[in-house]
A and B are shown apart, each in its own frame.
Chain A
Amino acid sequence: MSSEGNFGVSDSVQSGVPVLLVTGEVDVSTAPELRERLVAVAEKGDRVVVVDLTNVSFVDSTALGVLVSGVKRFRNVGGDLRLVVTQPHISKVLEITGLTDVFAIYSTSAEAVGA
């Protein structure tokens, strides 16, 4: 069993908006893959991306760093990175780091896509 074993990122497009559905634990060893996926979306020219953390069981400061870099990148081109967060412990990490003021956070991907 490893953190890599249950980590994954699947992508879809909802109403024209790319959605990255992340699963498992996002830590220092798995966060780079999330970064690569975000960069790939940006390089395709999409200005808005939704990162759905509904199925994420753990995030650390490395994961948050990747998301902060991502939101800066998308906002620099007039877009946004929107988060879907439903797990209380993920919300707690965002709150204690002050990042609830940085991200647009939604409770479903449909909400985030339609925002």
Chain B
Amino acid sequence: MTTAGSADLDPDRIEERAVNRVDLSIPAKPELLFLARMTAAAVASRAEFGYDQIEDLRLALDELCLTILEGRTGGRMNLQFNWTEDAMEVTATVGDNDSHGPRGQDRLVATPKPNELSERILDALVDEHGFDYQNGTSSSWLRVRRVDETD
């Protein structure tokens, strides 16, 4: 699922233009989601996002992670934050064959699927977002443009 995009948010362009990148790898446990939210807030602040957008990003990231954690036990979740002067992209991935995680402990117990409330929240808070599940790996991503909150 993807919402309308723009040239500024083209994934290749963001990757190419990214002058900053942060990676976070944490156990794929719900009780550690606060670490992902804290990192999102810190990165967004560093990228000079305004207060409202930082709060939006914290929530959007939480929903992004919830989507791929649904139905999983064990393993690790890897997040990558890329940002430029005017946009940010976050990718979250959790898979069955994560080399960082203890072997045999990461098991998908149900097919992941975004819930309706998560979808509504993501639709409202970010410019684009998506979800994918292939070969035991769930991934989700979002892109958001920085807005001038003084407008």
Contacts and interface: CB of A to CB of B under 8 A. Distances in A.
B31 A60 contact: no
A4 B59 contact: no
Contacts of B108: none
A34 to B, nearest CB: 14
B66 A61 contact: yes
A29 interface: yes
A99 B72 CA distance: 28
11 contacts: A25-B34, A27-B62, A28-B69, A29-B34, A58-B58, A58-B59, A61-B66, A61-B117, A96-B121, A96-B124, A97-B121
B30 A29 contact: yes
B31 A2 contact: yes
Interface in A54-82: 58, 60-62, 64-65
Contacts of B69: 28
Interface string B32-63: 01100100000000000000100100110011
A100 interface: no
A93 interface: yes
Given A89-B55, A96-B121, A97-B121, A62 B66 contact: yes
A4 B31 contact: yes
Given A61-B117, A65-B117, A93 B31 contact: no
Interface residues of B, number: 20
| Interface of chain B: mostly helix, strand, loop or mixed | helix
Contacts of B30: 27-29
B125 interface: yes
Contacts of B118: 61
Nearest to B52: A89
A1 B41 CA distance: 15
A112 to B, nearest CB: 23
B31 A61 contact: no
A70 to B, nearest CB: 15
A16 interface: no
A58 B117 contact: no
Contacts of A1: 34
Taking each of B34, B121, B124, which has the highest tally of chain A beta carbons within 10 Å of its own beta carbon? B34
A98 interface: yes
Nearest to A31: B30
Given A3-B31, A27-B30, A29-B30, 4 more contacts: A3-B33, A25-B34, A28-B66, A60-B59
Contacts of B115: 61, 65
